[in-house]
Every structure is written in structure tokens, then in C-alpha cells.
Amino acid sequence: MVTVLTRLRERKVQMGLDRRSSHDSFMLRANHGRGRQLGAGPVRRCPSAGSAFKKRLVQVATAITAHPQHSLPKACDDWADLKAAYRFLSNERVAPEAIQEPHRADTRGRCGALPVVLVLQDTTELDFTGRKQLRGLGPIGNGHGQGLLQHTALAVTPSREVLGVLHQQWSTRITPPEGETRRERLNRRKKTDCWPETVAAVGQSPADTRFIHVCDREADGFEMMQACDDHHCGFLIRAQHDRWVHGRTDKLWSFMAKQPVLGQRRLDLPSRHGQRARTARLEIRCAQVGLDAPQGDPRFRRPRDLWVVYVTEPRPPKNVAPIEWMLLTSEATRTVQEAVLRIDWYTCRWTIEEFHKVEKTGCRLERSQLDDAEDIKRLAAMVAVIAVRLLMLRDLAREATDPDAPWQQPAVLQRSVPWLWIVVVARADKKHPADPRTLTPREFWLRIARQGGYLGRRSDGRPGWSTIWTGWYDFMWMFQGAELMAEGPASPPRCG
């Protein structure tokens, strides 16, 4: 046993990894392509960082990845590792952008293989209320809480496959001064500026790919639409303002309500905000509309022509708020099929809400005991990459209705993870061992989920990311033991 533990330790040291999990580092650093690998991208050399930066980043990220639900003191092996992690996170020369740069570059590479990529934008509040020693926070919520605003651009496919983070930024809410004039307000940075700023930071899409920025009501502004035009991207924004249209002859909601119903569709709504999952029956209207320019804003003088998809739920269940979406888009929408596609794009926004849940609930970002907001930003930059990976893992366990889907093909799994891992997972269930050659990605991750406590009953739904991660941690040690045995154990000493 001493020999095995020594060899395990030497193997990790040779790989330059933290002493907890070489496999998690492999997944973190693997340069995966579209639908082929599950890692979050290699850790490349940044222009402002050398090999020490790269090595420390891998070590800290590996410790967090091995135990995303634990605090840093619990995630690190010993006091020396913990001190090194704190030094890294408090290093003023390390920018959050440098930490994420390799992952962002790989995400753009994956986007380049697709005709359409949805860039989901959203802002969430990181709540550190009660942490009086934490410097650099601002007001959140109703103004009595303290924390940071985190704005993320998450790239996904129209089928909701997570590709990665394209941009993230953190800020504090700015309280407008009393008596502020309109000119002063236009010149001052506002909370809503993060939307067009993110469009500019993401930039133009790769050749043969079109980025569509999908945003909620806070992004409803001519600044956001103009930013998409400037960077040759499309947009799909849920409207917030009932603007004048067609030369002040009508209002947006009134005009769209007069349009004929093109068709109906059923939409499965997940459980959220305290409401049960349900199926809504929607009516769809669409039209090309000329939005009048906002009055009093010298930056915009001309009206803007765009397409509008108006979604309503005429007969919602009792005591349930009906669905009503007014979707503004740059993409031509003339038929009911095109309108349904835009609706599907908008529902992909739920993916970024899951991403925030993984960051906060799974990785417990808001429970960090760091004492400076800049340190929190560096930690959040790493946690975001880990959250992407967790979503990728769970997506492989999705329901499989198409036998030709990628998550039904054993070859996809064999390209994604080492063969030895597949063998271990296939044979771990003693009552129902599987043939490793026929194990699909879905079966692979369902077996891992069962190790984490997933029962797989009809009423259980698909396994959650937390369950998958619990099972993955158990299998991680099995993988390491199997690799050591595959190298060939030393012969026992002979007596006499």
C-alpha cells in the first residue's frame, strides 16, 4: 500500500498537478472540440503571465474543481497549498481576464464550427451581505444588501449545448446623484451599459458563424441594438418599453395585438420561481415594425426597422401569471416556423440561469471568505469555467429520443474520455455490468449519477448536476487506482 501511494503521489507531481485530482485537471485543461471532449480548455501562456502563473492557476483550479462545494481551506490539501491559493487570488498582477483567456479562446474556436451560436447575456447579483470585512462591494437588491454585479456572455447552440464563456465582467451598482440632468445621465455609466459593452468585448463572430445575442428586458435599448449592428451580430431581446412605432401612429403592444394569430404551439415550462413545471399553449403573432427613435437622445435620430414576435397565453391555469413575451429581433421572421425558432432561442436563456445556480449553489461562490472584491473576481473567473464543465457533464445525461443523437453513440464517449475510465464505469455496477464497447455517453453519466445517489425512477426526471458531481468524485479515485494497476504492480518480495 505504501508503494502504491508513493507511485500515486509521484505520478501527480510529474504531471504538475495538485495532489487531489489529476483527472479533474485533465478535464480542465483538455482542448475539446465540438461534441468531442468535455474539458474547459487548455491553460495556455497569457501575454502577461509566465509558467509560474500557468502552474499556479492549474493547481488552484484543480483544488476547487475536485471539491467545488467546499471552501478553499477544505479544498486544499495542506497549509502550504492554502497559502499559495490565497496568494494567487490576491495577486494584483493577475487579471480575471487572463485566467479565463484560454477558455474564452477555445470557446470561440468551438463556435467557429457552427452556423448559429446564441450568446446568452445576463446579470446576476453575488450576495455578500453581512461580510463587513469584505472591501470593494456595492449595494444590491433593494439597496440594503452588499455584493457585486456579475454580467456573463455564455455561448450555447440552438439545441442548448453549452459551448463556454465568451466574456464576463464584474461591477458595483452606481447610485445616481440627486438632481442629475438628462445630459449628465447620458454621460454617466449606467447599469444597462454592460449589455452593449459585452457585445463589443465579444466582438465579431468567426467566419461562417453568426452570433445572436439573446437578452432579457434590461437590454431593451437602442444602444444594445446599435452595438450589435456595429459588430455584425444579431439580437433577440425581450421588450420592456412600450415605444411609439411607425411615426408615432401607434404603440408597440397595441400594434402587435392587432396582428393576426399565425399559429399556436405548446411549450414545456420548467419549474421556476416557486411555480410547478407545466405545459403552456401559446398564440404567436409576428410582424416587421419600425421603432421610433427615443425622444431627447441625440445619439439616435432615425427609427429602427426590426422584426417582432409576440407570444401570449390566452388561457393560463388559475392563479398563474400568463406567458407574454414581446421579442425584438434583427433576424427576418415572416413565417410561423421562423417565429417558433425565435421562441426556442429565447427559451435557451434558461440555460444561463442554471449556470448561475451552479456557480452559487454548487460551487458556493457567495460563501467565499476572501476579504477583497478583486480577489472574489479572480475566484469567480475560475468558478465560471468549472460551472461550464458541470453543465457539460449533465447535458450528456439528457433524455435520448433520437437513436442517432451524439449522446447515443459509443464512439462519441470513446473520443471524450480515456478508455480505462469507460471500462471502470461499465463494470462498477456488479449487479448490472455493461459492455464497455457499447456504453453510450448517456449511459456513462447515468451510471455516475447513480453512484451519487440518483435512483432513476420515472418520477425523478434527469439527474441534477450536483448528483452527477457527487458520483464523479467517487469514480475519480477508482480511475486513479485502475491506472496504477494498469501500469503493473511490483512483484511481491520472495522469502528465502
Burial of 21 (0-12, 13-18, 19+ CB in 10 A): buried
Q: What is the pLDDT of residue 49?
A: 46
The pLDDT of residue 343 is 96
User: Which has the closest alpha carbon to 23: 484, 488, 489?
Assistant: 484
| Ordered DSSP codes for 171-234 | E-PPPPPTT--HHHHHHS--GGGHHHHHHHHH-SPPTT-EEEEEE-GGG-SHHHHHHHHHTT-E
| Range in 38-42, 116-120, 254-258, 425-429 with the lowest mean pLDDT | 38-42
Map residue 149 onto helix, strand or coil. Answer: strand
Report the alpha-carbon distance of residue 389 to residue 27 in Å, rounded: 8
Kind of pairing between the strands at 210-215 and 116-127: parallel
Distance CA 30, CA 27 (A): 5
pLDDT at 394 over 90: no
Q: Where are the domains of the chain?
A: 398-487
Provide the pLDDT for residue 323.
93
- Dig out the grid coordinates for 348 from the structure: 435557451
Q: Higher-confidence residue: 492 or 410? A: 410
Q: By percentage, how much of the chain surpasses pLDDT 90?
A: 39
The answer, yes or no, to whether residue 21 has pLDDT greater than 70, is no
Across the chain, mean pLDDT equals: 80
> In the predicted model, what is the mean pLDDT of residues 30-44?
36
**Cell numbers for 41:** 480548455
Of the listed ranges 134-138, 345-349, 459-463, the one predicted with least confidence: 459-463
pLDDT at res. 298: 79
pLDDT digits (tens, 9 = 90+) for 198-210: 999 999 999 999 9
DSSP assigned state of 409 = -
| Mean pLDDT, residues 261-278 | 84
Q: Averaged over 444-455, what is the pLDDT?
A: 85
Q: Which positions ≥6 away from 477 have C-beta within 8 Å?
A: none
pLDDT digits (tens, 9 = 90+) for 2-14: 343 344 444 443 3
Q: Other CB atoms closer than 10 Å to residue 179's CB: what's the count?
A: 6
Q: Encode pLDDT of 98-147 as tens digits.
A: 888 889 999 999 999 999 999 999 999 999 998 888 888 989 888 889 99
